[in-house]
């Protein structure tokens, strides 16, 4: 159980709505759909209504700093089944990178690898008190693109499981390229925080509004629980 999961949730019932692609760049094809993650009739490019409003505000702030730049949405809503799929997929990839096969892991090996996975991936819990952040519609993974649609360099790809993913990893570097990565991360963080979001402590790309992590970081009550799938 992660610290933010002890935060109370008072579900507000706000609808899950499609992210308007007129404002943002959406990653296509979607990376998890390409892996055959089980979205069913759901789309990864959905968020709660209030989160979309916040994201539009952040886009407007970005325009004031960098005309023509846009927020690019890598991932947003995940049904819990997709969260489980991606945890399983990531565990398999981590095992293979260490020369191991998931089906042959000892209990101790499996636990060790899952600890690494869960540093960057939330557990696919069905407990209404501990929903995965992306399953609430209150979390979004994003980066920036310039006016030509080129992805801005951030120093590590989204979903990389390494210390390079920590938001301030390049903060103390004297290397010019690393300083630029930090500058871009700071720009992304500044517009998102100004629009009411909070940032995941371990991931430069993950921002949240209204879910348990946001509530834990702002000392408030969460207003988004897991989306009830009909």
pLDDT above 90: residue 133: yes
pLDDT above 90: residue 114: yes
pLDDT band at 230 (very low <50, low <70, confident <90, very high): low
Give pLDDT, residue 229. Answer: 74
How far is residue 172's CA from residue 157's CA, in Å, rounded to a whole number? Answer: 20
pLDDT digits (tens, 9 = 90+) for 42-59: 899 999 999 999 999 999
User: Is residue 92 a contact partner of residue 102, using CB atoms and an 8 Å limit?
Assistant: yes
pLDDT digits (tens, 9 = 90+) for 139-162: 999 999 999 999 999 999 999 999
pLDDT digits (tens, 9 = 90+) for 162-206: 999 999 999 999 999 999 999 999 999 999 999 999 999 999 999
Q: What is the pTM of this model?
A: 0.95
pLDDT digits (tens, 9 = 90+) for 29-88: 999 999 999 998 889 999 999 999 999 999 999 999 999 999 999 999 999 999 999 999
**Residue whose C-alpha is closest to residue 205's, from 185, 187, 191:** 185
Average pLDDT over the chain reads 96
pLDDT above 70: residue 100: yes
**Residue whose C-alpha is closest to residue 212's, from 108, 127, 147:** 127
Domains delineated in the chain = 3-218 (3.30.1380.10)
Whether 57 is catalytic: no
Mean pLDDT of 201-223: 98
User: Is residue 131 a contact partner of residue 79, using CB atoms and an 8 Å limit?
Assistant: no
Residue among 11, 65, 103, 203 flagged as catalytic: 203
Mean pLDDT of 216-225: 98
b/e burial code for range 109-119 (CB count within 10 A of at least 16 → b): eeeebbeebee
First to last CA, the chain: 27
User: Is residue 211 a contact partner of residue 199, using CB atoms and an 8 Å limit?
Assistant: no
């Amino acid at each position: 159980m992660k610290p933010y999961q002890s935060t109370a949730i008072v579900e507000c019932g706000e609808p899950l709505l499609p992210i308007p692609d007129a404002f943002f760049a959406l990653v296509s094809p979607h990376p998890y759909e390409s892996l055959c993650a089980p979205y069913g009739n759901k789309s990864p490019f959905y968020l709660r209504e209030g989160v979309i409003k916040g994201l539009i505000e952040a886009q407007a702030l970005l325009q004031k700093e960098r005309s023509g730049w846009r927020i690019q949405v890598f991932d947003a809503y995940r049904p819990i089944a997709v969260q489980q799929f991606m945890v399983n997929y990531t565990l398999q990839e981590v095992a293979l990178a260490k020369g191991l096969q998931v089906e042959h892991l000892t209990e101790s090996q499996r636990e060790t690898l899952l600890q690494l996975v869960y540093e960057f991936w939330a557990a696919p819990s069905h407990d209404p008190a501990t929903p995965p952040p992306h399953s609430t519609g209150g979390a979004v993974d994003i980066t920036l693109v310039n006016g030509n649609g080129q992805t801005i360099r951030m120093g590590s790809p989204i979903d990389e499981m390494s210390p390079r993913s920590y938001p301030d990893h390049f903060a103390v570097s004297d290397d010019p390229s690393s300083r630029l990565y930090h500058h871009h991360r700071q720009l992304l963080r500044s517009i998102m925080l100004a629009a009411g979001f909070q940032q995941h402590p371990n991931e430069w790309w993950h921002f949240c509004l209204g879910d348990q992590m946001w509530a834990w970081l702002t000392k408030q009550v969460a207003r988004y629980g897991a989306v009830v799938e009909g």
